[in-house]
Structure 1
């Protein structure tokens, strides 16, 4: 996944806007004879507002899921019905006031908003799943290319990366030594010299499954194996670690002094 978090949010917003325009053109939820401009205004405001609401409720749901020991994706099982109820109340209140929002009509509108919200969730799930699958293939090919061009190590006794850990139990059999862990949305990408895998878990949980002292979280989105570091370089005020096989990892400014004191830099 090459898009950052902000870019992913903007991409989601673009998809929501496109669907809102399509719904306005078709007009399935508007009374006959409603002008196109009115339909478009209500569709854009309604869909964007609903998307923002689901996003906010999903943050609460993801936190609840983590507290219960579940994957973050289960947060949407909480977010979809709750946010859909809020959307249904808002729609009924705007069209019929308090009596409509708290009346019997809610029982028929809420299931419809649940279906729409679930449809959006399924759409984005498929989009992100395909993007992660594509990124996995590209990353694997990139790692393979780097391994072919990298010079062989002259120190055969030195183990590069973490070859055995509790995290390996969650990876495919014979997964090679782990060089680094990186965050991609709700996933952790496990990077080795010639391949990578995606795991649905927080970075902190993945780092806890590595042997004590084997590495360090050097950035909010990166954990690095100490033995995989071959050097570092400066880019302006920023420092980046150079890893075996050509990987380059950013170092947060807050971690520069601790890493220097620990002999990494």
Structure 2
């Protein structure tokens, strides 16, 4: 619900921002009060936004999902331009303008061109956002792969579950067993920066994928690795563990 509300606020902010810009630059300047022109653009932008809520999923994800992206953008822009054009014409009349049949096609084409730019921009942004987690995951895998090169060959293709400190050594917990290497935990955590894991104790770092369960005993919290090994969670790192959704 919080994420949906945040998305709603971002969308509302964009609509208001565009309305302010169009009002400021005097698009369709008719000598009417600034407040009235702002309301005109806000309603018009809202009409386009509401239309986009239905049009974008219908065109890009359902009815025309298999079409070429150029066809999708053209179709989506054409559909969104319809209510936007109708809203503009209605307000243009309210603001004292005169409308004749010959201006309707040109008005629609103008709105259509603007919609093409907006839909294309939104598509680029959404695809970039969708690709970002994939790229981050790939980069994290590369980081882990480089770290695993420190282990004997038989462990290098294993899943990394956790790292624990033992004197001057680190015990590396993997899906293929455990191995000791000469390294400091601080250096290991630096090398593993950017991966999906966190420190749970002054002597433990845990990968999220390595956690199978959570156990509490006498007010103390333990993360249970897939190997059955229990990882202590100290009070210092408990908030980060909770924030990561692991407790």
The answer for the alignment partner of 2:33 in structure 1 is 35
Q: Does 1:231 align with 2:209?
A: no
Q: Is the 8 A contact 1:63 1:75 kept in 2?
A: no
- TM-score, structure 1 normalization: 0.48
Q: By how many angstroms is 1:142 displaced?
A: 4.2
Count of aligned pairs between the two proteins: 166
Q: Secondary structure at the match of 2:64?
A: helix
Give the CA RMSD over aligned residues: 4.3
Q: Is the 8 A contact 2:73 2:116 kept in 1?
A: no
**Which runs of no fewer than 5 residues in structure 2 stay unpaired?**
148-159, 163-171, 178-194, 197-208, 216-224, 228-243
The answer for the alignment partner of 1:263 in structure 2 is none
The answer for the alignment partner of 2:119 in structure 1 is 121
CA distance in structure 2 between the partners assigned to 1:45 and 1:243 by the alignment: 55
CA distance in structure 2 between the partners assigned to 1:5 and 1:65 by the alignment: 26
Q: By how many angstroms is 1:96 displaced?
A: 4.1
The answer for the alignment partner of 1:78 in structure 2 is 75
Q: Is the 8 A contact 1:50 1:87 kept in 2?
A: yes
Of the two structures, which has the highest relative contact order with CA contacts closer than 8 Å and spacing of 6 or more? 1
Q: By how many angstroms is 1:5 displaced?
A: 5.3
Q: More displaced, 3-12 or 108-117?
A: 3-12
**Which runs of no fewer than 5 residues in structure 1 stay unpaired?**
157-193, 196-227, 235-241, 251-265
Q: Is the 8 A contact 1:84 1:113 kept in 2?
A: yes
CA distance in structure 2 between the partners assigned to 1:4 and 1:71 by the alignment: 31
Q: How does 1:180-191 map to 2 (within 5 A)?
A: none
The answer for the alignment partner of 2:22 in structure 1 is 23
| Closer/same/farther in 2, CA of residues 63 and 23 from structure 1, 3 Å limit | same
CA distance in structure 1 between the partners assigned to 2:104 and 2:74 by the alignment: 20
Q: How does 1:91-110 map to 2 (within 5 A)?
A: 91-96=88-93, 103-110=101-108
- 4+ residue segments displaced more than 6 Å: 71-74
Q: How does 1:53-92 map to 2 (within 5 A)?
A: 53-61=51-59, 62-66=61-65, 69-70=66-67, 75-92=72-89
| Closer/same/farther in 2, CA of residues 153 and 229 from structure 1, 3 Å limit | closer
Q: Is the 8 A contact 1:65 1:72 kept in 2?
A: no
Partner deviation per Cα, 1:200-255 (whole Å, 9 max, x = no partner): xxxxxxxxxxxxxxxxxxxxxxxxxxxx8862459xxxxxxx889xxx899xxxxx
- TM-score, structure 2 normalization: 0.51
CA distance in structure 2 between the partners assigned to 1:127 and 1:50 by the alignment: 18
CA distance in structure 2 between the partners assigned to 1:143 and 1:75 by the alignment: 34
The answer for the alignment partner of 2:174 in structure 1 is 153
